[in-house]
Structure formats: structure tokens, C-alpha cells
Amino acid sequence: MMTDEQLREQLKQKGLKITPQRVAIYRAVMKLKNHPTAENIIEHIKLNYPNISIGTVYKVLDSLVENQLLKKVKNEKDVMRYDAIIHQHHHLYCIETERIEDYDDPDLDKLITKYFKQKKIKGFKVKDITLQINGEFKIK
């Protein structure tokens, strides 16, 4: 999550040209909470930017993910979803609806990190851990 200025800075640093499309797409992911799909993003952008191309949106999303400005969010179904929050965090998946919500919990992270510091998994080097917390929202 960042301001326009920071985004420009980041793009420059990663050697990506600052194009209105890239800025608009990043803004869209940021604005559309709840982990939009490519289609959600296109729909939103077309309002102010009617002739953006679908192919471009996918290419831009890919390049932003590659450069760690966005993250992909896995889901059971086959459409990819995107997240502008790239620091370590978890997700609440609603079993009934398609809702995916962010879940931040430094205490939990600490607990798990500490656990894996003691109990090593042999033959495997842990880089990061994401919890996929399935359940349902009580208030819709």
C-alpha cells in the first residue's frame, strides 16, 4: 500500500516505466478491497480509462507481482486474485461466499516463527508461512 509518489519511486527502482496504465492498475487493486480478480480490476479501470486492453491488464499485473508490488492470492476456484498488501499476512476465507479478508496477527506470527525455530523440518528451508483460515463470517 503506497502513495502515488512512492509507487513512481518503486517503479523507477525496479526499472519499469511509469505508464498511466500501471499506475491506474495499481490504484485499482488498492482501492478495490477484498482481493479483486483481473476482471474486477478491468471493470473498475474502464470507468476512467475506456480503451485499456485486457491483455495489458494481465501483463501489468504479472509484472507488478514479479516485482513484488502486488501479491497473488490463491483460491479454490480457478480465478486468480490480487492483493496490494505485500507484507506477511494471512487470509480469512469464507466457505460460503467468495469473500477473502486480510488477517494480520503479529502475535501469531511470532508464535509460529518461534515454533519453527525450534522444530526444524528436515530437508526443507522455510521462507515464509501463510495461514489459510477457513470458516464463515457471522455478520454478512
Partner DNA sequence: CTGCGTGCAAATGGTTTGCACTACG
Partner DNA sequence: CGTAGTGCAAACCATTTGCACGCAG
* Binding partner at 75 among DNA, a second copy, none, C-beta below 5 to 8 Å by kind: a second copy
Query: Position 106: which residue type?
Result: P
13 near DNA, rule: CB under 7 A: no
Q: Which of 4, 9, 43, 62 binds DNA (CB under 7 A)?
A: 62
38 near a second copy, rule: CB under 8 A: no
CA 129 distance to own-chain centroid: 15
Exposed/middle/buried for residue 106 (C-beta within 10 Å: 0-12, 13-18, 19+): exposed
State the binding string over 59-98 for a second copy (x if CB under 8 A, else -).
-------------x-xxx-x-x-----------x--x---
106 near a second copy, rule: CB under 8 A: no
The nearest distance, CB 28 to a second copy, in angstroms, is 21
**Residue closer to DNA (CB basis): 65 or 112:** 65
d(CA 126, CA 128): 6
CA 119 distance to own-chain centroid: 29
C-alpha cell at 58: 494481465
